[in-house]
Amino acid sequence: MATEMRGEPATEDKGKEKKSGGKRTSPALFVRQVIAELRKVIWPTRSELINYTVVSLIFVLVMIGIVSGLDWALQKGIFAIFG
| pLDDT tens sequence across 9-55 | 555 555 555 555 678 889 999 999 999 999 999 999 999 999 999 99
Contacts of 31 by beta carbon, 8 Å cutoff, 6+ apart = none
* 8 has pLDDT over 60: no
Number of domains in the chain: 1
Q: What's the rounded Cα separation, in Å, for the pair 22 and 9?
A: 18
* 3 has pLDDT over 60: no
The answer to whether position 70 is within a domain reads yes
The answer to whether position 64 is within a domain reads yes
* 65 has pLDDT over 80: yes
Q: Which domain holds residue 51?
A: 43-82
Let me know: does 25 contact 1? Beta carbons within 8 Å.
no
Residue 25 has a pLDDT of 87
Residue 7: left (phi > 0), alpha (psi -120 to 50), or beta?
A: left
The answer to whether position 65 is within a domain reads yes
Let me know: does 33 contact 7? Beta carbons within 8 Å.
no
